[in-house]
Structures are given as C-alpha cells and as structure tokens.
Structure 1
C-alpha cells in the first residue's frame, strides 16, 4: 500500500446544509492512485461533499465509475466543478 503525503487543508464542514458523506474506499484509492487527493482536499467543503454524495447516489456500478471518472478529470484539469466553470480552482 502506497502512502501519500498530503498537505493539511482544514475545511469547515459545519456550515453544510446537507449531511456529510463519508468517502468510500474506492474513491479514496482512485484519488491516491491518480495523485489527486491534494487537489480534492483543496476544494471547498461543499464540493468535496457534493462529489462524494453524487458518486454514492448512483445505483449502478457503471454510473458510479462514470461519475468518479468525471470528478478525477475535473480535479486534474482544474477550473471546473460539475461541468461548470470554477475559477478558484484554475491551475496555473
């Protein structure tokens, strides 16, 4: 098992109006395997939570994988969140 060193980014989840979704192990593994955990953790709390909830709500595994892949692409690319422009995450 590979250990990834992550810069600590404290996010305030207390203001979320939805329940906080726990990260499934397959999502964590995908983020680590693609070296995107830091990019994920740099996103606002609501985005982190929305991505996880959106992936988990899929009933079919194929849909979960499709949503996971979209999240990974958006994190790698930067500047986009759920197919919408997100200027705060643009990568220089």
Structure 2
C-alpha cells in the first residue's frame, strides 16, 4: 500500500465490509468521517490486525462506542470530537 492524498505517511487501510456495515447500522458513518484521517486509519488497522474474530469484534465495538460517545479516541480523551 502507498500513502494517499490524505497526507498520511503510513499505508491507508481499506475499510472492511463488516466495519462499514456496523458504522451504517449504528448511524455512525458521519461521526467516523468527521475524525481526522489518521484516526480513521488507526481504527481500521487496529481492528483488522486482530488475529481472532472475537478480538476484531471487541475492537469494533470499542470504536463504535467511542464514536457514539464522542470525546474519546482509543481510550484517551479527545476534546476535538466531544459532542455538544
């Protein structure tokens, strides 16, 4: 993979269908797209690198919960994404 026009220096991970479906089902695609490119990419890479399916699902749920709550990124405070 090569860097794309988003300015990321790391490879851009393609979004797996199960992640896209989960974002659509929970109505969180907009919240996902509003996050910086590096966060979108980190979430996808982190989820997809899990070896076990149950770990992928656990990570996916964490991402969805963080997007829904706002103000959190990878269990860290992220004031820029807080919901008002």
Q: Is TM (by shorter chain) over 0.5? A: yes
Any stretches of 5+ residues in structure 1 without a counterpart? 1-11
Equivalent position of 2:79 in the other structure: 87
- Tell me the distance in 1 between the aligned counterparts of 2:73 and 2:29: 15
Q: Alpha carbon RMSD of aligned pairs, Å?
A: 1.1
Work out whether residues 79 and 91 of structure 1, in 8 Å CA contact, stay in contact via their aligned partners in 2. Answer: yes
How many residues align structurally? Answer: 81
Which portions of structure 1, spanning 4 or more consecutive aligned residues, are displaced by more than 4 angstroms? none
1:71 aligns with 2:41: no
The answer to which structure has the higher helix fraction is 2
Any stretches of 5+ residues in structure 2 without a counterpart? none
* Structure-1-length-normalised TM-score: 0.85
Q: Which of 13, 17, 32 is matched with 2:9 structurally?
A: 17
